[in-house]
Amino acid sequence: MNNLRVNSERLWDSLMEMGRIGATAGGGVGRLALTDLDRQARDLFVRWCEQAGCVVRVDRMGNIFARRQGSDDTRPPVMTGSHLDTQPLGGKFDGIYGVLAGLEIVRTLNDAGVRTLAPIDVVNWTDEEGVRFGSGTLASAVFSGLCEPDDALTRTDLDGNTFGTELERIGYAGNVAANGHPVAAFIEAHIEQGPILEAKGKTIGVVLGAQGQRCFRVTVDGEEGHAGTLPMEKRRDALVGAARMIDALNRLAFEHKPHPVITVGALQVRPNSRNTIPGRAVFSIDSRHPDNAVLATLAERMSQACDEIAGNADLALKFEQISHRATVAFDDGCISAIRDTASRLGIAHMDIYSGAGHDACNLARYTPTGMIFVPCEKGISHNEKEKALPQDLAAGCDVLLHVMLERAGIS
Amino acid sequence: MNNLRVNSERLWDSLMEMGRIGATAGGGVGRLALTDLDRQARDLFVRWCEQAGCVVRVDRMGNIFARRQGSDDTRPPVMTGSHLDTQPLGGKFDGIYGVLAGLEIVRTLNDAGVRTLAPIDVVNWTDEEGVRFGSGTLASAVFSGLCEPDDALTRTDLDGNTFGTELERIGYAGNVAANGHPVAAFIEAHIEQGPILEAKGKTIGVVLGAQGQRCFRVTVDGEEGHAGTLPMEKRRDALVGAARMIDALNRLAFEHKPHPVITVGALQVRPNSRNTIPGRAVFSIDSRHPDNAVLATLAERMSQACDEIAGNADLALKFEQISHRATVAFDDGCISAIRDTASRLGIAHMDIYSGAGHDACNLARYTPTGMIFVPCEKGISHNEKEKALPQDLAAGCDVLLHVMLERAGIS
């Protein structure tokens, strides 16, 4: 059984075929959650799972569970998976790898005629990225009991459509209760989305946990005016204020060691007209650090820096925290299982922290959870150029396979 | 005849009634060119003009000319007017005052039974603001022979609609040739859109000319990446670069005396997602100064400042000039007529330069042209809070009336 390996070529081909749905001109994928493209990706995944003999169920949040029966179906399933949605200009691997690695394990077990004791669930979590509805990993949060279904389903996108109606529109508002079924363990495979494994020459990252994250919405209010006639010294330009804040926030990140990451990713200017002085600018801040205390201090310093700039420019400021996730520690048993399996299979590995949030961070509060990272080129992710090597993806999938087998047992 | 005055209340009521079309929650007007709201405003204006006995014609650019016949219709008309379109969050007076002041003059002459020798044309120029199609005063530029009709009609908005098809859609693609008919003189009344008249306690600004203007599009290219995983020192964040440029451009404006005005009014971030490092930021620069040479020097310094910031942050930069208007000097005869009329009517006045571009700046290259400014509160314009006093608006309209009468002659 120790010699069992996944089919690297089949895994790669599935990733490439899935990548055609929402393919962008720049070689990436733009497949926002609950769009028609998301529906197409889900349909393809469901078809593949059914062809592999799985029973597919969909819960109220649109999470898809494909089950490969075990010999003892009274046991809770060992679960793996990730997400099929992407950033607007994302890549072919972020999330998709974790889902199709789960499918590849089912196919590999089928080919080898291996029967597990406990069932295996391969899951596609809805809207991990959080682009449209403002907050990611909501559907796995509901599954894990961290969020009420209705709090998620009533969120709206910029066009005023709700999560719930969009889910119905694409035909994935399932009838299974959203608040989770018993799960023996959850193991998620994912690309690192950072440059560390590549730089250290390791194939497997044994993920110990995830850094904490605080997100903010900053609203800067000045006064609109005519770009040609209002003298400079009389202006209250919201965009100039926001620009100084964005610069200051960036410099702040470099003042701590080890560096937190601070990102202003989204900015809206009102009225956004060439010849009108901007009256309002609204921007997001995403800040992350492995130490909860540093993150809290940072929040205060960021708020102070913005306050000072607003005050000096006679601008009004609203600085709101919109989400807060504490540091996550994964399960010691899962961590050891991943580390030992990689050693046993002779694959170079290292311990690592996750810079990104993942569905696994929610599951960690619900069931023993672990994550397996594989390298991606230059750490580039959330980008059309995101790239991973077929052999690394296969190695991660091999480790996943053997951890799943160990957890599920062989009958 | 010297005692003839316009009806202040009627002028005010017409402004208020027109202001209901596209009224915003904040008390202003949002009536972008060639929208359904623009059509409604045009329909109302045409109805009012026809009720006042005018013959209305529409040219290929959608410019509306309402003619009050003179006793000698072989003479070229004396023309006045402005525009009915507004900024997305604009006011009730910018442009609209000039159009309805023209209408008020026609009504006043009707009431008094005054017949002019030359005809009087009241014009509504299409799309003065240039919000949707990227460049303002295009339709008066075509009339004045400064722009080819097809160069204007084929411009597209952000949804890909062309100026020409939108004009047809709202029913204002007229059949009169677009390249101008003979005009004896053009006088435009307008709110100052700046704080000078109010600060100096003057009711009438005798406009000598308009400052020059250069506009630019700046494209900053970095690299997208994951907000949680890409370490700060490896980032090429386009928005951080753009933010530093916006700050630097603002500071640059304060280094010259007298100050130019430099405005970054519009900014787009790509992909504009909270948890993705921005890969691209595109912003506009609008720079204006009364001295063409200063404006040219400034363009170089702005480009250098952006270049330096881009270089330091490993970002690619494209710095393109997208429009350039040289300083405009109005006609000496029109300037004197306005100044002398204000004196004769006993209205406090001063000479002034226009900070904004106006349709009159195009007409100045076609026919003797002048402009009359009246104060607006705190100089606030391109803003829902834009405000002007009924008595100031009436005073400007009185000056306009007597200058028009002098130019047209009384039969």
Q: For residue range A9-65, what is the model confidence (pLDDT) as tens digits? A: 999 999 999 999 999 999 999 999 999 999 999 999 999 999 999 999 999 999 999
The predicted pLDDT at position B112 comes to 97
The predicted pLDDT at position B269 comes to 96
**Mean pLDDT across chain A:** 95
Residues of chain A with Cβ-Cβ distance to B253 below 8 Å are: 232
Cβ–Cβ under 8 Å, residues B338 and B402: no
Distance, in Å, from the CA atom of A292 to the CA atom of A34, rounded to the nearest integer, reads: 33
Q: What mean pLDDT comes out for the span A132-138?
A: 89
The predicted pLDDT at position B256 comes to 81
> Is A261 among the domain residues?
yes
From chain A residues 219-238, the ones with a CB under 8 A of any chain B CB are 223-234, 237
Evaluate if residue A105 carries a pLDDT over 90.
Answer: yes
Domain count, chain A: 2
Interchain contact B262–A (C-beta under 8 A): yes
Evaluate if residue A355 carries a pLDDT over 90.
Answer: no
Looking at the structure, do residues B225 and B204 belong to the same domain, yes or no?
no
Distance, in Å, from the CA atom of B146 to the CA atom of A179, rounded to the nearest integer, reads: 67
Looking at the structure, do residues A46 and A112 belong to the same domain, yes or no?
yes
Distance, in Å, from the CA atom of A148 to the CA atom of A138, rounded to the nearest integer, reads: 9
> Is B56 among the domain residues?
yes
> Is B89 among the domain residues?
yes
> Would you say how long chain B is, in residues?
411
Q: What residues does B210 pair with on adjacent strands?
A: B328, B354
> Is A185 among the domain residues?
yes
Looking at the structure, do residues A235 and A302 belong to the same domain, yes or no?
yes
Locus of tokens 């022979």:
B145
> Is B2 among the domain residues?
no
Looking at the structure, do residues A105 and A242 belong to the same domain, yes or no?
no
The predicted pLDDT at position B382 comes to 87
The predicted pLDDT at position A321 comes to 96
Looking at the structure, do residues A17 and A133 belong to the same domain, yes or no?
yes
Q: What mean pLDDT comes out for the span A362-384?
A: 95
Looking at the structure, do residues A63 and A172 belong to the same domain, yes or no?
yes
CB contact under 8 A, A240 and B250: yes
Looking at the structure, do residues A291 and A333 belong to the same domain, yes or no?
no
**Mean pLDDT across chain B:** 95
State which residues form the domain around B27.
Answer: 8-210+327-408
The predicted pLDDT at position A325 comes to 86
Last residue of a domain, one of B279, B301, B325: B325
Interchain contact A386–B (C-beta under 8 A): no
CATH code (residue A254): 3.30.70.360
Interchain contact B52–A (C-beta under 8 A): no
Q: What mean pLDDT comes out for the span A150-163?
A: 91
Return the structure tokens found at A185: 């363990």
Q: Work out the angle at residue B38's Cα, subtended by the Cα atoms of residues B155 and A236, and round it to the nearest 5 degrees.
A: 80
Three-class DSSP category at A259: coil
From chain A residues 345-364, the ones with a CB under 8 A of any chain B CB are 354-357
List of chain B residues with pLDDT < 50: none
Last residue of a domain, one of B301, B325, B349: B325
The predicted pLDDT at position B257 comes to 78
Write the CA distances from A157 to A104, A138, A346, B157, integer angstroms: 34, 14, 47, 24
> Is A3 among the domain residues?
no
Evaluate if residue A361 carries a pLDDT over 90.
Answer: yes
The predicted pLDDT at position A160 comes to 87
Distance, in Å, from the CA atom of A171 to the CA atom of B240, rounded to the nearest integer, reads: 40
Q: Which helix (H) or strand (E) holds A67?
A: strand A64-68
Note the pLDDT tens digit of each residue in A50-67.
999 999 999 999 999 999
> Is B47 among the domain residues?
yes
Q: At what angle do helices B8-18 and B390-408 cross, to 10 degrees?
A: 110
Return the structure tokens found at B100: 């309805």
Nearest to B226 among A193, A213, A242 (CB): A193
Model ipTM over 0.85: no
Looking at the structure, do residues B147 and B58 belong to the same domain, yes or no?
yes
Evaluate if residue A134 carries a pLDDT over 90.
Answer: no
Locus of tokens 């007076």:
B93
The alpha-carbon gap from A374 to the nearest alpha carbon of chain B, in Å, equals 14
For residue A223, count CB atoms less than 10 angstroms from its CB and return exposed for 0-12, middle for 13-18, buried for 19 or more. buried
The predicted pLDDT at position B229 comes to 86
Burial annotation B165-181 (CB, 10 A radius, 16+ → b, else e):
ebbeebebbbeeebebe
Give the amino acid at B296: A
Looking at the structure, do residues A172 and A47 belong to the same domain, yes or no?
yes
Q: What mean pLDDT comes out for the span A262-287?
A: 95
> Is A1 among the domain residues?
no
The alpha-carbon gap from B113 to the nearest alpha carbon of chain A, in Å, equals 39
| B224, B264, B322: best to mutate for the A interface, most A CBs within 10 A | B224
Looking at the structure, do residues B24 and B165 belong to the same domain, yes or no?
yes
CB contact under 8 A, A269 and B273: no
Q: The pTM is what? A: 0.75
CATH code (residue B162): 3.40.630.10
Per cent of chain A over pLDDT 90 is 88
Return the structure tokens found at A40: 């197409």
Cite the beta strand spans of A171-307 per DSSP E: 185-191, 204-210, 212-221, 225-226, 261-263, 267-270, 276-277, 280-289
| Own/partner pairs, B17-21, CB within 8 angstroms, 24+ separation | B17/B44, B18/B44, B18/B45, B18/B84, B18/B92, B18/B96, B18/B100, B19/B92, B19/B96
A327 alpha carbon, distance to own chain's centre: 15
Q: What mean pLDDT comes out for the span A4-13?
A: 98
Cα–Cα nearest to B32, from B92, B95, B88, B96: B88
Evaluate if residue A256 carries a pLDDT over 90.
Answer: no
Question: Which are the contacts of B115, defined by CB distance < 8 A and separation ≥ 6?
Answer: B70, B71, B109, B410, B411
Last residue of a domain, one of A325, A349, A375: A325
The predicted pLDDT at position A167 comes to 97
Looking at the structure, do residues B90 and B143 belong to the same domain, yes or no?
yes
Looking at the structure, do residues A157 and A304 belong to the same domain, yes or no?
no
Question: Which are the contacts of B47, defined by CB distance < 8 A and separation ≥ 6?
Answer: none
If phi over 0 gives left and psi between -120 and 50 gives alpha, with beta otherwise, what is residue B314? left
Question: Which pLDDT band, with edges at 50, 70 and 90, does A197 fall under?
Answer: very high
- The number of C-alpha atoms within 13 Å of A21 and in the hemisphere containing its C-beta is 23
